Amino acid sequence: MPSDATLDGSKQCPIGRAAGCGAGRRCPMSPRTYEAGAMLCGESSAAERLWYVQHGSVALFRETGDQRGAGVPWAVRRPGQLVGDECLVQEGYSDTAVALTQVTLCVASRDSFNQWIDNVGVVASRAVMGLVISARCADGPRPTSAEGSAVRRVARWLADEARDGRAPEMPRGVVAGLLGMLPETFSRALSRLSVMGAIKSTRREIRVVDADVLMAVAAE
């Protein structure tokens, strides 16, 4: 397999399979590593590249009419998802994309990727469409206060996102934005869940210690 074959864990990703990396052909995307905090693209800037997430996570920020200001986080792209795929159909990026952690991303220019799709044809188109649909289905509107208390929303987020009892590593301000609340509201919700015995929270991590209590709060 070529060294630049796009991977997801130990398996070829849909793009790598469509490119025929298993048969010795080259993937249209090349892997690069970015440090946490690196900005991949800015909202409304010229859409010239797209990325496939191998490892780590990338947050998407979008300007809104929210009183808290511009650049509200609204989605996270994880391994197996595309970032900047709107470059295939429009001239500017819809979001600002920032690496939440150190990330390994496969990148391709818009022109080279479109050329690859044209050359490979329906197999490439289906692979890309599958990735786009997967990401879009995972996106959802930012929760509002009408969808439950802050404590309930944080509990639901932890119930959905905590792996091995630990919350994802991402800035708390980003999580607060994703949940439609202010950072201080998020901190108060964590404190409440700690008092209830559902979690233990420090500056470095959030750990679930009683899943039953957490699930009960999430279901309220």
Domain ranges across the chain:
7-138, 145-218
Question: H/E element holding 130?
Answer: helix 122-138
CA distance 51 to 79: 11
pLDDT for residue 52 is more than 80: yes
* pLDDT 10s digits, 182-208: 899 999 999 999 999 999 999 889 999
Please give the pLDDT value at position 63.
83
* pLDDT 10s digits, 123-157: 999 999 999 988 777 666 566 655 789 999 999 99
Strands 72-77 and 58-62: antiparallel
DSSP string of 165-195, one letter each residue: TB--S--HHHHHHHTTS-HHHHHHHHHHHHH
| Widest pairwise Cα distance in the chain | 59
For the domain bounded by 7-138, which CATH number is listed? 2.60.120.10
- Top-tier CATH class for 145-218: mainly alpha
Gyration radius of the chain over CA positions = 19
pLDDT for residue 4 is more than 60: no
* pLDDT 10s digits, 63-93: 865 544 457 888 999 999 999 999 999 999 9
